């Protein structure tokens, strides 16, 4: 009786079951890399109106153990709109946004006034993407997403989008170098191309060592001795540790710098860094030559100054330039009394323009030097680490921090020759 009743109830319930077919729209994008090369000829830009990529040999995307060449920067990908069942969705006729995804975030960073890397029109649910890759490192994917649209309901602006996204196969790109973090084409804020990314810098360019050039109470600086060019432009970086760096000193050799890239008022830093100490014997490898800074370099931000941030530099008084200790008045005097900063400039400067002066900080390294007593005198040579503060757009306050007493040469009367 009980079993029969259960069967009857089950049958009755079954009579009320209705089956509906869900409405399927775009749910994702399928992104397949079809071409990878080192020149635009290898993967040429597709003409407008091309929605199906031309046939190409299978691309080399690298492996976890063997990355692709650093110069492999040109890619082509076939993109297909897909529905929720994983079936091609030919009704999508929109325009998707394209980004590059690596180290946990997309490039460019999403923002109201920041355009995507590219926009990609679709026809019958298909599109062919061709693009040169911006700086991207380690495991990288090409990221495609349906842009978010909005509707207004009862006076409230609400998102209205499919939120469809898709990513390509992984492209195993090389690890970044110090120069990849340091390089900038931004003359206003001097922001690193890898700002807000987490990076691991395994070693110097071409396997060269990275040497510690300065150690402070809460940061240290290193220079990649393999960075190409005279005095290693873009080859130095600051690692901000927030406390006394442990176990290293000037001359130490380090590798596997690991940290978050942050632009601090114009200065790229690795924050909360981790590093590997390879050699802690000072003098086993020679320090890099300091890069000479000229008066004419100061306003030349990207061409002459930014490439040497966080690296050793030198000011020299000779037939080319003369550097004089500025008189400290007003806010400059207050800054010296509070922070130990003073100014140097050319002998004809009134020291009022940041395009003519350099700050010098000697509180910790040369505490006995008195810039007030030496006002108007000539500094024959001054070495130190170059940094910058950008308190407002297009305002660049460059600072040289001597590391010890030997970084300051003779200071003589302006009319006297340097020894």
Q: Are 72 and 174 in contact (CB under 8 A)?
A: no
pLDDT in tens, 154-164: 888 887 889 99
Mean pLDDT of 360-377: 91
One fold for 178-279 and 291-412: yes
pLDDT in tens, 82-93: 999 999 999 999
Asked if the model's pLDDT at residue 413 lies above 50, the reply is yes
Averaged confidence pLDDT in the chain: 91
pLDDT in tens, 8-43: 444 444 555 555 545 579 999 999 999 999 999 999
Annotated domain spans of the chain: 26-172, 178-279, 291-412
Asked if the model's pLDDT at residue 302 lies above 80, the reply is yes
- Residue 8 pLDDT: 44
pTM reported for the whole predicted model: 0.84
Fold for domain 291-412? Answer: OB fold (Dihydrolipoamide Acetyltransferase, E2P) (2.40.50)
Nearest 5°: the CA angle 188, 107, 45 is 105
User: Nearest to residue 232, comparing CAs of 183, 169, 173, 167?
Assistant: 183
pLDDT in tens, 184-200: 999 999 999 899 999 99
- From 164-178, 224-238, 320-334, the region with the lowest mean pLDDT: 320-334
- From 1-15, 86-100, 149-163, 309-323, the region with the lowest mean pLDDT: 1-15
**CATH annotation of 178-279:** 2.40.50
């Amino acid at each position: 009786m009980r079993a029969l009743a259960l069967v009857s109830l089950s049958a009755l319930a079954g009579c009320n079951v209705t089956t509906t077919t869900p409405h399927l729209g775009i749910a994702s994008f399928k992104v397949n890399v079809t071409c990878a090369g080192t020149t635009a000829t290898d993967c040429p830009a597709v003409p407008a109106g091309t929605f199906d990529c031309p046939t190409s040999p299978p691309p080399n995307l690298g492996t976890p153990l063997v990355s692709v060449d650093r110069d492999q920067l040109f890619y082509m990908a076939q993109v297909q709109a897909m529905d929720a069942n994983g079936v091609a969705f030919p009704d999508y006729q929109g325009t998707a946004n394209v980004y590059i995804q690596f180290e946990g975030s997309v490039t460019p960073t999403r923002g109201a006034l920041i355009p995507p890397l590219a926009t990609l029109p679709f026809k019958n649910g298909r599109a062919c993407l061709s693009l040169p890759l911006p700086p991207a490192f380690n495991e990288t994917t090409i990221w495609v997403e349906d842009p978010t649209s909005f509707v207004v309901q009862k006076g409230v602006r609400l998102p209205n989008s499919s939120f469809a996204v898709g990513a390509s196969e992984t492209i195993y790109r090389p690890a970044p170098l110090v120069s990849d973090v340091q390089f900038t084409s931004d003359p206003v804020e001097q922001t690193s191309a890898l700002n807000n990314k987490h990076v691991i810098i395994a070693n110097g360019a071409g396997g060269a060592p990275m040497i510690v050039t300065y150690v402070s109470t809460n940061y240290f600086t290193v220079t990649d001795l393999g960075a190409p060019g005279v005095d290693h432009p873009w080859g130095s970086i600051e690692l901000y540790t927030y406390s006394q760096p442990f176990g290293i000193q000037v001359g130490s050799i380090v590798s596997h710098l690991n940290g978050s890239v942050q632009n601090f008022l114009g200065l790229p830093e690795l924050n909360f860094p981790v590093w590997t100490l390879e050699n802690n014997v000072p003098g086993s490898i020679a320090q890099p030559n300091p890069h000479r800074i000229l008066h004419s370099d100061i306003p030349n931000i990207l061409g002459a100054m930014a490439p040497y941030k966080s690296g050793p530099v030198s000011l020299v008084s000779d037939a080319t330039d003369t550097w004089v200790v500025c008189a400290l008045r007003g806010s400059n005097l207050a800054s010296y009394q509070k922070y130990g900063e003073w100014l140097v400039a050319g002998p004809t400067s009134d020291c009022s323009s940041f395009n003519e002066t350099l700050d010098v900080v000697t509180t910790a390294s040369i505490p006995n030097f008195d810039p007030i007593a030496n006002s108007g005198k000539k500094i024959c040579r001054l070495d130190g680490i170059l940094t910058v503060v950008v308190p407002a757009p297009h305002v660049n306050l460059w600072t040289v921090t001597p590391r010890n007493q030997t970084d300051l040469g003779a200071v003589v009367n302006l009319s006297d020759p340097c020894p």
